[in-house]
Homo-oligomer: A and B are copies of this chain.
Amino acid sequence: MSPSKDQHIVAALSQVTTATLTTLLLKKGLRNVWMRGARPLKPGLPRLVGPAFTLRFVPAREDLATPESWSSPVSTRTAIEAMPAGCIAVVDAMGVTDAGIFGDILCARMKKRGIAALVTDGVMRDVAGVRATGLPVWCQGAAAPPSVAGLTFVNWGEPIGCGGVAVFPDDWVVVDDDGAVLIPAALIDEMVSTAPEQERLEGWIMSEVEKGASLPGLYPPNAENKARYEKSKN
């Protein structure tokens, strides 16, 4: 996609909660787009939006998953150098929670290269150092052991599973306090065009609740309330 188109997507979806996006995707037939286990490492981060850059691990094998493997031409180090600025790195760690995929040094490099965020169904290590780098991270938590204690890195740019969700290299990802949501490439335009209006409607409903309105007929709105909402927009 062109940079300006990407910027338009980022600007539009930064205003939409992942809760609203999952409702809209469900209406399109997609119930399984939220990555289990990917929670914000720090509270209060702003919402972030970007195209997915995928990385894939398989289980550790003592002959392959070694500190020496970190110098291999296909390693997490070379993967990081291949990431475009603005992307969201999505890492398939098979939900492993006793080996940290990345520590402070790798996160510092990602931050330097302009990566928007890191999302994984695994965990981080040296988590105090990772927080200090300022890289926004969504993960299951922290574990001291290195990735090679439980994982073997195999490739980047492939289809992966992350938290029970299929992620393909040209899909989009939105992250906020509710976690990480996948938007298939084929649906990104529709989300950009419909989601902001849905947010506006929910804002109006919330203001009605604050005035004391009861929920049946209001949320979702019946014909009368839909008309009142439309009128309110003028």
Q: Using a CB–CB distance below 8 Å, which chain A residues touch chain B?
A: 17-19, 21-23, 26-27, 29-34, 36, 39, 58-65, 67, 70-71, 75, 77-78, 80-81, 94, 97-98, 100, 103-106, 108-109, 112, 125-129, 141-146, 148-150, 152, 154-155, 158-161, 164-167, 176-179, 181, 184, 186-187, 202, 205-206, 209-210, 212, 214-217, 219-220, 222
Asked if A216 and B166 make an inter-chain contact with CB atoms under 8 angstroms apart, the answer reads no
Cβ-neighbour of A143 out of B100, B108, B178, B217 (below 8 A): B178
Residue of B at shortest CB range from A186? B63
12 A–B contacts from the bound complex (CB under 8 Å):
A17-B129, A19-B126, A23-B145, A32-B61, A34-B98, A60-B166, A67-B220, A75-B216, A80-B215, A112-B212, A128-B176, A152-B166
Given contacts A62-B29, A98-B36, A206-B104, contact A77 B161 (CB under 8 A): no
Could you tell me the distance between the alpha carbons of A81 and B217 in the complex, rounded to whole angstroms?
12
Contact residue among B71, B80, B176, B220 (Cβ-Cβ distance under 8 Å from A70): B220
Known contacts A81-B216, A144-B179, then 15 further A-B pairs from the complex at CB < 8 Å, ordered by chain A residue: A23-B67, A23-B145, A27-B67, A30-B61, A30-B63, A32-B60, A58-B159, A59-B165, A63-B184, A70-B220, A75-B216, A104-B206, A105-B206, A108-B206, A127-B177
Q: How far is the CB of A164 from chain B (nearest CB, A)?
A: 5
The smallest beta-carbon distance between A144 and chain B, in angstroms, is 4
Minimum CB–CB distance from A211 to chain B (whole Å) comes to 9
A198 CB to nearest chain B CB (Å):
11
Task: For A220, list chain B residues within 8 Å (CB).
Answer: 67, 70-71
Is B143 touching A34 in the complex (CB atoms < 8 A)?
yes
Q: Which residue of the partner chain B has the closest CB to A221?
A: B71
